[in-house]
C-alpha cells in the first residue's frame, strides 16, 4: 500500500504532517500499536516519579537522615545517588525500552537468566500485597478524619487504658467542672507534663492505633478476627487501583497527572504550616545539623546506599515495565536523571515537613525531639497524627496528610500491578490475552486482595512488617547484581553500548559505561555485605518475633532468589548440545527475537527479511525507483554470486 504525502489533496497533506511525515519522504512511525505506548512522555515521567516516590520517602528517609548525622548524611547519600542510583536507573530504563518487553520478555537477551525476571515478579507480588494494606490503613485514617474532633485526640475513649496520657487538655468536655476548678486543672496539666518528662507516655494516638484500629493480638500466630473496617478499606484500595489500570498505561497515564503531582501540593501546604509553628526550627535543626564524625562510620554509608537502592525501586521490575511502553527513540538517559533527582529531592523536602511538626510537638511536650521522632508505621499512624491534634482545625490537616499518603502509595502500587500484568501478557503473547488485558488486571487484583486478607487480622501488623523486612531486602540486591553481570559480561558490554546508541542516537556517556561495568556492581556487593553484617532479628516495639516466623521471612526472601538457579538449570537442560558446556553456551546466547520490537527499528545485525504480510508505507516515487533498482539487480544477479542478498539502508532514522 502506498500513501501519497505529496499530492494536491490538502486534507491528506494535513494528515501526513499530523503523523510527523515530511512530504516526499517515507512515513515513519514509532508506535507499538499491538502493545501500546504512553500517550506522551510526560505520562511516563510522572508515572516513574510516582513509582519511585513512595511512602519510604516520607516515613523512612527523614528518620535515617536524623539518625545518621543529619546534614552530614546528605554527602554519602548523594554520592551513592550519582555512582549507583542514577546508573542503575538508566540501565533498567534502557533495558526495557530497547526490547519493549516487561520483566520476563527482556531476558531474550540471555534466556538462561530469565529466572531473574521471575524473581522480580515474586518480589513485586510480595510488595504489592502488603503495600496495598498500608494504603488501606491510610484510607481508614482518612475516613476517620472526616469529623469535628479527631478520635485519637483525648484519652476518654472506651479503648483507652489508665496509662494513656494525652498532649491536649480536654477543655469543653465538662465546662461546669472546668469553670469551678480551673486552677486545679492547670496544676494537673503541669504535673502531667512533669510525669511525661520522667516516664514513658502512652499517647492517645498510639492506643487508637493498637487497641482500636488494629486490635493487635499478643503474638504473630494469634490471628484473632478479621478487622472488617480494614478489610473494607482494602477492597476500596484494590478497586481504585484496578479502575486506574483498567486500560493499562492508557488510563494510568492520565491518572498520574493528579496522583503524582498533588502530593507535592500537600507537602508544600504542610511545610508552610509547619515552619510557622513554635519549635519547628528546633526540629529542623535536629534533622539537618551535621555530625561530621559519623561520615567515617561504615553504617552511615551502608544506610545511604540501601536507601538510594530501595527508594528508586531498582530490581522490582517496575522500571523495566514502565520503560517498555516508551517509544523506541525516547531519551531515557535524560528521563533517568530527572526522575532520580526528583525522587531524592522529594525525600529531603519531606524531611522538613516531618521534622517541623515533630519539633513543634517536642516543644509542646517540653521533651527532646529524639523522644518523638519515629519512622515507618510508627511515624505515619502514631507520631505525626498525634502532632496534628495540636493544630487548629486538626481534622483538615489530618485529611491532607493521609490523602497524601494514599496518593504516594497508589503511585507505587500502579506500577507493581502493571509489572505483573505486563509480564503475564507479554509471556503468553496471544492476540486474545492482549485484547483482554483488562481481565488479567482484574484477576491479579482479586488474587492480591485475597492474599492481603490475613494482613487485616489482629496479627496482621506483625506479618506486614515481616514481609516488609524480608520479602524485599537482600534478594533485591542479588537480583540487581546478577542483572548487571548478565548484561555487561554475559551478553557483552560492547554489544549493549551499541544497542543503546542505536536507540538513543548516541552511546552511553563514559561515566555510565564505567559505572555499569565496575562501580555499580561493587556498590551493590557492598550493600549486600552490609545487609548481612548489620542483620538483626526483627522486632515490633517490645515484641520479639519467634524463630519459626523468622524462618518464614527467610523463605520469602529466598523464594525470589531461587527462581534464578532453578530456571537456569531448566534452560540448560532444554538447550541444544551434547555436553554441558555446549548447552550452557547455547542457553546464554541471545534469542533470535531479542532486539527492538518494531521491524522498522531492527537494523544492522537485527535486520531480518521482510515478511509477505507486512504493509509498507512509502512515497510513490521511492517505490517506483526501488522497482527499477530491483530490475537492475535481477539483470546482475549472475554476477553477484550465491549470496543473493539485496543491500538495504542501515542508517537509523532521526
Residue 53 assigned as binding residue:
yes
Q: In DSSP terms, which residues pair with 226 in a beta bridge? A: 457
Contact 394, 105 (CB under 8 A): no
Are 281 and 352 within 8 A, CB to CB? no
52 known member of a binding site: yes
Q: Report the DSSP beta bridge partners of residue 544.
A: 539
Report phi then psi at 226, rounded to 5.
Answer: -80, 130
Sign of the dihedral through C-alpha 274, 406, 90, 472: positive
Residue 343 annotated as binding site: yes
Which residue's C-alpha cell is 522486632? 539
Does the annotation list 311 as a binding residue?
A: yes
In angstroms, rounded to a whole number, what is the distance separating the alpha carbons of residues 604 and 618? 21
The CA distance from 95 to 38, in Å, is 17
Q: Are 94 and 484 in contact (CB under 8 A)?
A: no
The label of the residue with cell 548525622 reads 69
Residue 241 near residue 447, CB atoms below 8 Å: no
Structural contact between residues 404 and 54, judged by C-beta atoms closer than 8 angstroms: no
Q: Measured between alpha carbons, how far is 349 from 148 in angstroms, rounded to an integer?
A: 30
Q: Return the closest-CA partner of residue 503 out of 290, 328, 299, 258.
A: 328
Helix (H) or strand (E) holding 188: helix 182-198
Cα(524)–Cα(541) distance, rounded to whole angstroms? 30
134 is in an annotated binding site: no
Q: Residue 178, annotated ligand binder? A: no
Q: Of the candidates 441, 463, 444, which has an alpha carbon nearest to the alpha carbon of residue 454?
A: 463
Q: How far is CA 612 from CA 609, 616, 624, 630, in A?
A: 9, 10, 19, 17
Annotated binding residue 408: yes
Residue 24 C-beta-side C-alpha neighbours within 13 Å: 0
Q: Which residues are annotated as a binding site for Na(+)?
A: 50, 52-53, 57, 311, 343, 408
Q: Which residues are annotated as a binding site?
A: 50, 52-53, 57, 311, 343, 408
Amino acid at each position: 500500500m502506498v500513501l501519497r504525502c505529496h499530492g494536491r489533496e490538502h486534507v491528506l497533506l494535513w494528515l501526513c504532517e499530523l503523523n510527523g511525515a515530511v512530504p516526499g519522504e517515507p512515513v515513519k512511525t514509532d508506535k507499538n500499536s499491538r502493545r501500546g505506548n504512553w500517550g506522551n512522555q510526560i505520562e511516563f515521567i510522572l508515572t516513574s516519579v510516582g513509582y519511585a516516590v513512595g511512602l519510604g520517602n516520607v516515613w523512612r528517609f527523614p528518620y535515617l537522615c536524623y539518625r545518621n548525622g543529619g546534614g552530614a548524611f546528605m554527602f554519602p547519600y548523594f554520592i551513592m545517588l550519582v555512582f549507583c542510583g542514577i546508573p542503575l536507573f538508566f540501565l533498567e530504563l534502557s533495558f526495557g525500552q530497547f526490547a519493549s518487553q516487561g520483566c520476563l520478555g527482556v531476558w531474550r537477551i540471555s534466556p538462561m537468566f530469565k529466572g531473574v525476571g521471575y524473581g522480580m515478579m515474586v518480589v513485586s507480588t510480595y510488595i504489592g500485597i502488603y503495600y496495598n494494606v498500608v494504603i488501606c490503613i491510610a484510607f481508614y485514617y482518612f475516613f476517620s478524619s472526616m469529623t469535628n474532633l479527631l478520635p485519637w485526640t483525648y484519652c476518654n475513649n472506651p479503648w483507652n487504658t489508665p496509662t494513656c496520657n494525652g498532649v491536649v487538655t480536654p477543655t469543653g468536655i465538662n465546662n461546669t467542672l472546668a469553670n469551678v476548678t480551673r486552677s486545679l486543672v492547670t496544676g494537673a496539666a503541669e504535673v502531667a507534663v512533669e510525669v511525661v518528662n520522667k516516664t514513658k507516655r502512652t499517647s492517645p494516638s498510639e492506643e487508637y492505633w493498637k487497641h482500636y484500629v488494629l486490635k493487635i493480638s499478643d503474638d504473630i500466630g494469634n490471628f484473632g478476627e478479621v478487622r472488617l473496617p480494614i478489610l473494607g478499606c482494602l477492597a476500596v484500595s484494590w478497586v481504585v487501583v484496578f479502575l486506574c489500570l483498567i486500560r493499562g498505561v492508557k488510563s494510568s497515564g492520565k491518572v498520574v497527572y493528579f496522583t503524582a503531582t498533588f502530593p507535592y501540593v500537600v507537602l508544600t501546604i504542610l511545610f508552610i504550616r509547619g515552619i510557622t509553628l513554635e519549635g519547628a526550627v528546633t526540629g529542623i535543626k535536629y534533622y539537618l545539623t551535621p555530625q561530621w564524625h559519623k561520615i567515617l562510620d561504615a553504617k552511615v554509608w551502608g544506610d545511604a546506599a540501601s536507601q538510594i537502592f530501595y527508594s528508586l525501586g531498582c530490581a522490582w521490575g517496575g522500571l523495566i515495565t514502565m520503560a517498555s511502553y516508551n517509544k523506541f527513540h525516547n531519551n531515557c538517559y535524560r528521563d533517568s536523571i530527572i526522575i532520580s533527582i526528583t525522587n531524592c529531592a522529594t525525600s529531603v523536602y519531606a524531611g522538613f515537613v516531618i521534622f517541623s511538626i515533630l519539633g513543634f510537638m517536642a516543644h509542646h511536650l517540653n521533651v527532646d525531639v529524639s523522644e518523638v521522632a519515629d519512622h515507618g508505621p510508627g511515624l505515619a499512624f502514631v507520631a505525626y497524627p498525634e502532632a496534628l491534634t495540636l493544630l487548629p482545625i486538626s481534622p483538615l490537616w489530618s485529611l491532607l496528610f493521609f490523602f497524601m499518603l494514599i496518593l504516594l502509595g497508589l503511585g507505587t502500587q500502579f506500577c507493581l500491578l502493571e509489572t505483573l500484568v505486563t509480564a503475564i501478557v507479554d509471556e503468553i503473547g496471544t492476540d486474545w490475552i492482549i485484547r483482554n488485558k483488562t481481565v488479567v488486571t482484574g484477576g491479579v487484583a482479586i488474587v492480591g486482595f485475597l492474599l492481603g486478607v490475613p494482613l487485616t487480622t489482629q496479627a496482621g501488623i506483625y506479618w506486614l512488617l515481616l514481609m516488609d523486612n524480608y520479602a524485599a531486602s537482600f534478594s533485591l540486591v542479588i537480583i540487581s547484581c546478577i542483572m548487571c553481570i548478565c548484561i555487561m559480561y554475559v551478553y557483552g558490554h560492547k554489544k549493549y553500548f551499541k544497542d543503546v546508541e542505536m536507540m538513543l542516537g548516541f552511546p552511553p556517556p563514559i561515566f555510565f559505561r564505567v559505572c555499569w561495568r565496575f562501580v555499580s556492581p561493587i556498590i551493590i556487593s557492598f550493600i549486600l555485605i552490609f545487609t548481612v553484617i548489620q542483620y538483626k532479628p526483627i522486632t515490633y516495639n517490645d515484641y520479639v518475633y519467634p524463630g519459626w516466623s523468622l524462618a518464614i521471612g527467610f523463605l520469602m526472601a529466598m523464594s525470589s532468589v531461587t527462581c534464578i538457579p532453578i530456571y537456569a538449570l531448566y534452560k540448560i537442560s532444554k538447550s541444544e548440545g551434547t555436553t554441558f558446556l555446549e548447552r550452557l553456551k547455547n542457553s546464554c546466547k541471545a534469542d533470535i527475537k531479542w532486539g527492538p520490537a518494531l521491524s522498522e527499528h531492527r537494523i544492522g545485525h537485527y535486520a531480518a527479511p521482510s515478511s509477505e504480510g507486512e504493509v509498507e508505507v512509502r512515497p510513490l516515487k521511492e517505490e517506483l525507483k526501488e522497482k527499477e533498482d530491483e530490475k537492475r539487480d535481477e539483470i546482475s544477479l549472475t554476477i553477484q554470486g550465491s549470496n543473493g542478498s539485496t543491500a538495504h539502508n542501515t542508517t537509523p532514522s532521526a
